[in-house]
Copies of this chain bind each other. A is one copy, B any other.
Amino acid sequence: MKPARDKIPTPTVRRLSLYLREIESLLAQNRLTVSSKQLGDRLSLTDAQVRKDLAYFGQFGHPGIGYRVPELVEELRKILGTDRPWNGCIVGAGNIGRALLPYNRFQRKGFHIVAIFDGDPKVVGTDVEGHKVRPMSDLPGLVAERDIKLAIIAVPAESAQSVADQLIDAGVVGILNFAPVRLDVHDKVSVGDVDLSVALEQLAFQASLGVTGSLDDRE
In the bound complex, what is the Cα–Cα distance between A13 and B180 (angstroms)? Answer: 17
In the bound complex, what is the Cα–Cα distance between A215 and B192 (angstroms)? Answer: 6
Choose from B80, B196, B205 the contact partner of A194 (Cβ within 8 Å). B196
In the bound complex, what is the Cα–Cα distance between A216 and B219 (angstroms)? Answer: 12
In the bound complex, what is the Cα–Cα distance between A175 and B203 (angstroms)? Answer: 7
The closest CB in chain B to the CB of A173 belongs to: B207
* A135 CB within 8 Å of chain B: no
Contact status B200-A21, CB under 8 Å: no
CB distance from A195 to the nearest CB of B (A): 7
CB distance from A196 to the nearest CB of B (A): 7
Of the four ranges (under 10, 10 to 19, 20 to 34, 35 or more), the interface on chain A belongs to 35 or more
With a CB–CB cut-off of 8 A, which chain B residues contact A126?
Answer: none
With a CB–CB cut-off of 8 A, which chain B residues contact A213?
Answer: 185, 187, 190-191
CB distance from A78 to the nearest CB of B (A): 11
* A10 CB within 8 Å of chain B: yes
User: Which one of A30-38, A60-68, A103-111, A139-147 is at the interface?
Assistant: A103-111
With a CB–CB cut-off of 8 A, which chain B residues contact A198?
Answer: 14, 17-18, 21
Assuming the contacts A157-B25, A198-B21, asked whether A190 and B173 have C-beta atoms less than 8 A apart, the reply is no
Choose from B10, B103, B108 the contact partner of A95 (Cβ within 8 Å). B103
The 9 closest A-B pairs by CB, nearest first: A99-B99, A174-B207, A95-B99, A173-B207, A190-B206, A10-B218, A17-B198, A174-B203, A190-B207
